[in-house]
Each structure stands twice: as structure tokens, then as C-alpha cells.
Structure 1
Amino acid sequence: MKLYIYEHCPFCTRARMIFGLKSLPVDLQVIMEGDFETPTRLIGKKAVPILGKDDGTYIGESLDIVRYVDDIGAKILVMPPDEALGTWVQEIWPTALKLFIPRFVEGDFAELATSQARKAYRHREEQAFGDLDLLRGATTALIAEVNPRLEALATLLEDRKGLGINDITLWPVLRCLSIVRDVNFPNKVSSYMHRLSQESGVDLLFAQSR
């Protein structure tokens, strides 16, 4: 199977995680930013991730991909949904976006390997978020919102064992935030992040923090 991704994308990270957690082989294919032709040819629109199945068909939504792959062999996402964790992700998402998007534009990702691709990505994100330099200037205030939420998350993770769909939606957000230098990850959250990084084979972004 082939998985078409952006390296920075949290939705692509969901799909990458399930392959790693299940130790299933997959051929990762990075789509360059600004490449409209490839995803449109595969699923009719510009969106990733895209899973190319062995039968020649394609799946184009991250959680649909996760569920398809988890159905291969014994399921591993067996923990029941945790409403509190789901709410946590929904509530932090708007603030987290404003922190990691300006940094992704500066990041070292294969889909941004050319100046043309990086320019296309900046243009796309500035259409959604406005001037990214101004957004970068709001870092202190945004981190002041995020850090207490991470403290609350540590409590939610206190007794978590096993894997469920919440891990697939939560961990990619934490991975994205790991590119933000001054975010404070409590020990319980940090341990969770590093454990799932090791189990899934998907890197965290601390090495690129800025």
C-alpha cells in the first residue's frame, strides 16, 4: 500500500501512526506543496492523506484510513472513546493552530523542499490565518493559553492504558505543538508523547523547535 502525505500534517500523522502501531509496511509518498494534480487525480480534490490500496482504489479521509488499517488483522484501537479527551482536542485546536502553523512554514519538511513549494504553503496558510509574522508575534499570549490546558491533559492521561481512537486524534496535535519552543509539556504528557512516538515510529518535532 502507498500512503500519500505531507510530513507536517496532523491528519497525515494519524494515518502514519496506525501503520506504525500495527507494524504494517507502507510506502510513504510525500506530495509537494502546490501539487494539485496528484491528489486531484487520485481522489478528485487536493487533500491528504490518501491511501492507495493494493486493489488500486484510494481512501482519502484520515480516520477512514485509520479504521481500514485497524481492520487488517487484530484490532489495536480497542479502548472506548473518552469524551473528555475528545473535548480537550477540540478546545485546544484553534489556539494550537495559531502556534504551529507559522512555524511549519519555516520547518524542514520534504513537501517544502523547494522555494516554490514553501511559497505555495505560505500563501495557502496566509489565506486562512492572515499575516503569519503577526501571528508569530502573538506567541507569548498563545502559549499562556496552551500551557494550562496541557496541565489539565496530564490529569486526563493519568490512568490511560491501551490504545483507542482518542490517541489517534490527540497525539498528532501534541506532535504539532512540539515544534513550539516555549510550550511546557508536563512529565505525564511528555512521557505519553515519547512513548507513542517510539511505538508508532513517527518522529516528534522537538529537534525543529523554534
Structure 2
Amino acid sequence: MKLYIYEHCPFCTRARMIFGLKKLPVELAIIMEGDTDTPTRLVGRKVVPILQKQDGSHMAESLDIVQYVEGIGAPVLTAKSDAALDAWGQAAWKPALGLIIPRFTQGDFAELATPEAREAYRLREEKAFGDLDALLQRTPELLAQINPLMAQLATLLDGRSEETGLSDILLWPLLRCLSIVGGLDFPAPVLAYARRLEQQSGVPLLFDQQIH
């Protein structure tokens, strides 16, 4: 199977996670930023991730891909959904985006490997979020919003079973995104959780790319 992705994208990370957790081989294919032809040819619209299945057909939507791959062989998403973790992700999403987006446009990702691709991404995010330099200047304000949430998450994760479920597929990609943010607190239980799923999924965190 082949998985078309952006390296930075949290929705693509969901699909990468399930392959790693299930120890299933998959070929990763990068779609460059600004490339609308490839995804449109595969699924009729500009979207990632896209899975090319064993029969050569293609499917989009991250959670649909997760469900499809989970159905191959023995299940690994055996934990029940955790409403508290899901609610945390919803609460953290908006301030997280404010921190993540301006840093992602500066990040070292394969889909941004050319000046044209990086500029296409910057323009796309600027259209959605406005002046990215101004957004980066709001870092102290946004950290003040999200650091208490990270402390709250630590209490939710401390002592939690290591059994994996759909809530982890939703939560961990957001934490991976946040690992690019310099100055963000990762309390010990949150860091241990992030590192454990990094190892189990084979998808690297972004601490080595931190931008303050």
C-alpha cells in the first residue's frame, strides 16, 4: 500500500500511526505543497492523506483510512474512547493552531523542499490565518493559554493504561505538532506518553525542529 502525505499534517499523522501501531508496511509518498494535480487525479480533490489500497483504488479521509487499516489483521485500537481526552483536544486545538502554523511554514518538511512549495504553503496559511509574523508575535499569549491545558492533560494521562484506542489517534498527532513549539511545557506524564507512541508508531516527534 502507498500513503500520500504531508509530513507536517496532523491528519496524515493519524494514518501513519495506524500503520506503525499495526506493524504493517506502507510506502510513504510526499505530495508537494502547491501540487493540486496529484490528489485531484487520485480522489477528485486537493486533500491529504490519501491511501492507495492493495487493489490499486484510493481513499481519503484520515479516520476512514485508520478504520480501514485497523480492519486488516488483529485489532490494535482496543481501548475505549476517552471523552476527557477528546474534549481536551477540542479545547486545545485553537490556541495550538496559533502556535503551530507560523512555525510549520518555517519547518524542515519534505513537502516544503522547494522555494515554490514553501511559498505556496505560506500563502495558503496566510489566507487562512492572516499575518503569520504577527501570529508568531502572539506566542507568549498563546503559551499562557495552552500551558495550563498541558498541565491538565498530565493529570488525565498520569497512570492511564497503555492500551491504545481511537482517542490516542486523535490526541497524539496534536501533541506531535506542538512539539515544534519552543517554550511549551511538556509535563512528565505528557512527555512519556508522547515518547511511547512515537516509539510504537515509528512517527518522529518534532522536538529537534523547535522554533521559539
Superposition TM-score tier, normalisation by shorter sequence:
over 0.9
- 1:21-170 matches, cutoff 5 A: 21-161=21-161, 162-170=163-171
- The two structures have a TM-score, normalised by structure 1, of 0.99
2:194 aligned residue: 193
**AA aligned opposite 2:68:** Y
Tell me, in whole angstroms, the C-alpha distance in 2 between the residues paired with 1:90 and 1:44: 29
Deviation at 1:158, TM superposition (A): 1.8
Partner of 2:204: 203
- Within 1, Cα distance between the matches of 2:82 and 2:59? 26
Q: SS at the partner of 1:8? A: coil
C-alpha separation in 1, matches of 2:50 and 2:85 = 26
Per-residue deviation at 1:72? Answer: 0.5
SS at match of 2:205: coil
Structure 2 spans left out of the alignment, 5+ residues: none
Q: CA deviation at 1:145?
A: 0.5
Deviation sequence 1:140-173 (CA, Å, 0-9, x none): 0100111000000011112322000000000000
Looking at structure 2, the residues matched to 202 and 164 of structure 1 have their Cα atoms a distance apart, in angstroms, of 17
Structure 1 spans left out of the alignment, 5+ residues: none
Structure 1 residue matching 2:105: 3-state secondary structure: helix
Size of the aligned set, in residue pairs, is: 210
Q: Secondary structure at the match of 1:106?
A: coil
Deviations 1:105-138 (A, max 9, x none): 0000000000000000000000100000000000
Identity of aligned residues (%): 62
Matched, 1:16 2:22: no
Read off the aligned partner of 1:59 and give its amino acid letter.
M
Alignment pair present for 1:3 and 2:38: no
1:47 and 1:115 map into 2 onto residues whose CA distance is: 21
Q: Distance in 1 between matches of 2:2 and 2:210?
A: 29
Matched letter for residue 205 of structure 1: L
Amino acid at match of 1:141: E
Q: Secondary structure at the match of 1:159?
A: coil
One-letter amino acid of the counterpart of residue 64, structure 1 = D
**Structure 2 length-normalised TM:** 0.98
Alignment RMSD (CA, Å) = 0.5
Q: Deviations over 1:69-90 (max 9, x none)?
A: 0110011101111111111001
